[in-house]
Amino acid sequence: MEFKISAQDGSARLGELSFTRGKVTTPVFLPVATRGAVRCLSSENLIELGYEMVLANAYHLSMRPGTKVISAAGGLHSFMNWQRPILTDSGGFQIFSLEDTKIDDTGAVFRSIYDGSWHQITPEEVVRIQEDLGVDIIMPLDQPVAYPVSESLATEALVRTTTWAKRCKTSHRKEAQALFGIVQGSTYPALRKRSAEEIINLDFPGYSLGGFCLGEPKQEMNELVSYTAQLLPAEKPRYLMGIGTPLEIISAVGAGIDIFDCTFPTHIARNGSGLTGRGKIIIRNSTYREDSGPLDPDCACFVCRKYQRGYLRHLLNTKELTVLYLITYHNLYFMQNLMRRIQAAIGKGKFLEFQKEFGEKWSSGL
Amino acid sequence: MEFKISAQDGSARLGELSFTRGKVTTPVFLPVATRGAVRCLSSENLIELGYEMVLANAYHLSMRPGTKVISAAGGLHSFMNWQRPILTDSGGFQIFSLEDTKIDDTGAVFRSIYDGSWHQITPEEVVRIQEDLGVDIIMPLDQPVAYPVSESLATEALVRTTTWAKRCKTSHRKEAQALFGIVQGSTYPALRKRSAEEIINLDFPGYSLGGFCLGEPKQEMNELVSYTAQLLPAEKPRYLMGIGTPLEIISAVGAGIDIFDCTFPTHIARNGSGLTGRGKIIIRNSTYREDSGPLDPDCACFVCRKYQRGYLRHLLNTKELTVLYLITYHNLYFMQNLMRRIQAAIGKGKFLEFQKEFGEKWSSGL
């Protein structure tokens, strides 16, 4: 993996990640394909939408269908019919969220959400799984903490995250797959600084910011993302894990973040909410019963060019699966268009103007 | 509506239905869009697949969202973003299948499956609803009967069906919309003959065969479809309602049927079954866990060119909605391809050869 920054505007960066499987313009938003498919969409849809990279979840894929099946299929790219780059999350966050998970320095013991069987996960195993999947960017096992958390527990998780990062790096064999380091430290600036120093010291080709958006106030999150990003080496890509809404992404781009992923646009689509320049539209509302206008009047996607709000609402009300496809498609079109506009704004040195303009329209309401 | 037969091979006919909204080559299979959407697919998908006409259900659409909403949207074609011809079923079959439905000569009183409210349906109302929807082919209200049924009950339903057909014709105002007549008579050849004579006497631009595939033996159905079809005027299109599987369709084409509709290909897709030249494939079976081959090795659709059986199985097992889209797409590709092959065979005077060849491969198994 190579990373080149072609323009900078304040702390916001326009760049390009290069892999053997293709190039990815940053700042980039990765649609989430937890189990190897973006909810409701085909790979062909994602190509049409212009996505250059997706995220999958190593833990989920290792449980179902298992790395043996995926290896037999020729690796995750062949398995999911996606020849462009893939980043996998380790799934540590999902594992540590399970009620029965027991954690110690070795790793974690947890019960499968699929069949209740017990499994052990270690830093070495997490790397092996992702190497077997054959993905392009690998996440190490880290220990996230809930919010709020005491400084002493956050410190303990930080120390373990560093130890595990070291073990992941030692066991990492396939250099073509880029293993990132993850910075933890909860909402304590001093811990974020310590974690960043320890992880940078291990020298990774890219850095992830973990443990954000867990319930802390937005303002605090934005400030701490900005603070943490500036601790990281300028020439390496920065990935803000699991984030976020359009406003959160724009704010984090302004802080120097390059990579994002979030289930937000696909998740709200399944609940019948569409993204527009003026914020979320809840299509299910009865006010749209006879509305013949498009989901988002400013959007050029086929859904907005061809389908009426009243029809989308009817399909939601009658539980027709077609509508989940249509709204998901639009929402991912919206997100990709947002990223293209962000990239263009940085290239022209007008990122702050874009942020202001987008924010004003977004909060003006429908 | 115009109907022209361009070739005949035995009783099988190659023809063309012409509407102001476009031409439809027959024999034709109509995908079912009960509530205004073919399950999991967009109109764009149906166009890609080459479909020229779809079926919707007047009863379901009149309950949700109601003809007022659809009229406000500019009619059903605009509402569902489908500018090609639409045939609507009256929904009588669905209404008479409801437990609380009460029927007399006036019409029927029934409870909405959506909110339990009571509604009355009459022949005149059924025509008005479909005229309001603005569809291209309209079905009258008829009285289907269950199988098996006594000859006296079948006769009673037949008489009522004729009376209602007359009332439908009298109340039908919009000539651009073709109102068909429906032949009933259960499994009694004499009743089929009587119904055909009475309905033909009313002079409709096309005729539907109702009350088939309700549990009667396949052989009996095929023979009675053939018998009934030959009673109908040769120059008018014939529509076998709600049928069927590939073998049933081929058999009925051989009997002179021109129009088909069935939920079969979309319904089995949602249960994880794909159509192949060698019969149904149940992708969920564990035998396909590590199968890297395509769903149907003989198929040229994008799903079969790009996706592996093992992947489709994994998505079914993890309840990923994408797979319902992929299998539905393939199944409707299979059906459209089947109809194109039927049309070509009739054109070349080789329909019986095609029927034999298809049947042998289909029953040879996977």
The reported pLDDT for the residue numbered B366 is 87
The one-character DSSP state at A98 is S
* Whether the predicted pLDDT of B66 surpasses 90: yes
| CA distance readout (Å), B41 to A228, A271, B77, B237 | 45, 18, 16, 28
Q: Is A100 a catalytic residue?
A: no
Structure tokens at A106: 């070795």
Min Cα distance A294 → chain B (Å) is 12
pLDDT at residue B129 greater than cutoff 90: yes
Q: What is the mean pLDDT of residues A129-133?
A: 98
Predicted confidence (pLDDT) at residue B143 exceeds the cutoff of 90: yes
Q: Which residues of B316-334 are buried (b: 16+ CB within 10 A; e: fewer)?
A: bbbebbbbbbbbbbbbbbb
| pLDDT for A1 | 97
The mean-pLDDT minimum among A47-51, B45-49, B117-121 falls in B117-121
Instruction: Convert the pLDDT of each residue in B30-54 to its tens digit.
Output: 999 999 999 999 999 999 999 999 9
Q: Are B95 and B59 in contact (CB under 8 A)?
A: yes
Domain map (residue ranges) of chain B: 2-262, 274-364
Contact B322 A81 (CB under 8 A): no
CATH fold group of domain A26-262: TIM Barrel (3.20.20)
Longest dimension (CA), chain B: 61
- Give dist(CA B70, CA B75) in Å, integer: 5
Is A65 in Cβ contact with B289 (below 8 Å)? yes
CB-nearest to A79 from B37, B43, B311 is B311
Contact list in B for residue A310 (CB cut-off 8 A) is 65, 69, 72-73, 79
Instruction: Name the residue facing A314 among B64, B315, B317 (closest C-beta).
Output: B64
Determine the residue among B39, B42, B59, B291 to mutate to test chain A binding: the one whose Cβ has the most chain A Cβ atoms within 10 Å: B42
pLDDT, average across residues B258-274: 97
Q: Could you tell me if A325 lies within 8 Å of chain B, comparing CB atoms?
A: yes
Please count the residues of chain A.
366
Confirm whether B89 is a catalytic residue: yes
Alpha-carbon distance B40 to nearest alpha carbon in chain A (angstroms) = 4
The yes-or-no verdict on residue B151 having pLDDT over 90 is yes
Distance CA A27, CA B57 (A): 47
Residues from chain B that touch A330, judged by Cβ atoms under 8 A, are none
CB contact under 8 A, A73 and B308: yes
Q: Which residues of chain B have a CB within 8 Å of the CB of A60?
A: 318
Tokens of A208: 């992830």
Residue from the list A39, A43, A292 with its beta carbon closest to the beta carbon of B320: A39
> What digits encode the pLDDT tens for the residues A200-222?
999 999 999 999 999 999 999 99
Which chain A residue's Cα is nearest to B67? A290
Q: Which of A9, A132, A261, A296 is catalytic?
A: A261
Q: How far apart are CA B242 and CA A209, in angstroms?
A: 56
Contact A236, A206 (CB under 8 A): yes
Residue A322 to residue B292, Cβ atoms within 8 A? no
* pLDDT tens readout for residues B81-91: 999 999 999 99
Distance from CA of A17 to the nearest CA of B (A): 26
A80 in contact with B, Cβ within 8 Å: yes
Considering only CB atoms, A69 lies closest to which of B36, B310, B321, namely B310
Question: DSSP for B138-167?
Answer: EPPP-----SS--HHHHHHHHHHHHHHHHH
What are B1-25's pLDDT values in tens digits? 999 999 999 999 999 999 999 999 9
Residues of A with CB below 8 A from B45's CB?
A: none
Lowest mean pLDDT among A92-101, A171-180, B257-266: A92-101
What order of strands is seen across the sheet that includes strand A107-111? A102-104, A107-111, A118-121
DSSP at B103: E
Asked if the interface predicted TM-score (ipTM) of this complex is over 0.90, the answer is yes
H/E segment holding residue A121: strand A118-121
Residues of A in contact with B74 (CB under 8 A): 292
Of A77, A81, A79, A88, the closest CA to residue A43 belongs to: A81
Tokens encoding A130: 């992702």
What is the maximum span of chain A, computed from C-alpha positions, in angstroms?
61
Top CATH class, B2-262: alpha beta
Q: Assign A292 to helix, strand or coil.
A: coil
- Cβ atoms of residues A142 and A164 within 8 Å: yes
Question: B39 to chain A: which residues are within 8 Å by CB?
Answer: 320-322
Q: Is the CA virtual torsion B321, B325, B328, B334 positive or negative?
A: negative
d(CA B247, nearest CA chain A) in Å: 28
User: How close B138 gets to chain A, by Cα (Å)?
Assistant: 22
Strand partners for B89 = B57
**Strand duo A238-240 + B238-240: pairing:** unpaired
Mean pLDDT score, B239-249: 97
What is the pLDDT averaged over residues A143-169?
A: 96
Type of residue numbered A214: L
Tell me the sheet residues that pair with A3: A17
Contact, B43 vs A320, CB < 8 A? no
State whether A324 and B321 contact (CB < 8 Å).
yes
**Are A296 and A274 within 8 A, CB to CB?**
yes
For chain A, the average pLDDT equals 97
- The pLDDT value given to residue A190: 98
**DSSP 8-class letter at A286:** G
Strands (E), B70-179: 86-89, 102-104, 107-111, 118-121, 137-138, 178-179
CA distance B325 to chain A (A): 7
Instruction: Select the residue from A32, A42, A70, A302 to test the B interface by mutation, using most B Cβ atoms within 10 A.
Output: A42
Residue A69 CA to residue B289 CA, distance in Å, equals: 7
d(CA B136, CA B141): 16
A366 band by pLDDT with thresholds 50, 70 and 90: confident
Contacts of A42 in chain B (CB under 8 A): 302, 322, 325-326
Torsion of CA B193, B198, B202, B206, to 10 degrees: -30
Which B positions 288-317 lie with beta carbon below 8 A of chain A?
Answer: 289-290, 292, 302, 306-308, 310-311, 313-315, 317
User: In this structure, which amino acid lies at residue B283?
Assistant: I
Scanning every residue of chain B, which has its alpha carbon at the shortest distance from the alpha carbon of A38? B322
Q: Answer whether residue B119 shows pLDDT above 90.
A: yes
Of B43, B74, B289, the CB nearest to A69: B289
* A43 touches B: beta carbon within 8 Å: yes
Average pLDDT, chain B: 97
- pLDDT for B227 equals 98
Residues in chain B with CB shorter than 8 Å from the CB of A321 are: 39-40, 321, 324-325
**Which of B43, B12, B45 is CA-nearest to residue B327?**
B45
The answer to whether A73 contacts B42, with C-beta atoms less than 8 Å apart, is no
Q: State the Cα torsion B344-B345-B347-B348 to the nearest 10°.
A: 120
Instruction: Please report the DSSP string for B282-301 in residue order.
Output: ETTSGGGTT--S-SSTT--S
Q: Give the active site residue among B9, B136, B261, B296.
A: B261
> Which residue out of A76, A267, A303, A325 would a mutagenesis test of the B interface target, given it has the greatest number of B Cβ atoms within 10 Å?
A325
- SS3 (DSSP) at B107: strand
